[in-house]
Amino acid sequence: QVQLVESGGGLVQPGESLTLSCAASGFTLGNYATTWFRQAPGQEREAVSCIATTTYYRDSVKGRFTISRDNEKNTVYLAINDPKPEDTAVYFCATGPSLCYEWLNSRMYSYWGKGTQVTVSA
């Protein structure tokens, strides 16, 4: 079966860091694009970052987040290196496309995790 499971969320303060994990089973993540999305209360779900053969970030997180993949662990990570209160949301990972082309479009993805909560507060 194909499954994605996020973990690593929690409370983080500005000036600290937090790393989210997206563990895959039933397929090899390295053969596909993986995108992190987030959704804040009352807001639309938005794409944050994508990794395939290269990486992409939405403008608001550039320089503050880092996406990476560990092929041995079949896991994609999202390091939130410089969290801001505006980053508070439920974070989801998703996959399906082979590349990050049109990665912002949530309809491109076949598989989704259940999400992990990130709260940024002093």
DSSP letter string over 28-97?
Answer: -GGGS-EEEEEE-TTS--EEEEEESSSEEE-GGGTTTEEEEEETTTTEEEEEESS--GGG-EEEEEEE--
The tokens of 45 are what?
A: 């779900």
pLDDT classification of 96: cutoffs 50, 70, 90:
confident
Q: Convert the pLDDT of each residue in 41-86 to its tens digit.
A: 999 999 999 999 999 999 999 999 999 999 999 999 999 999 999 9
In this prediction, residue 122 carries a pLDDT of 87
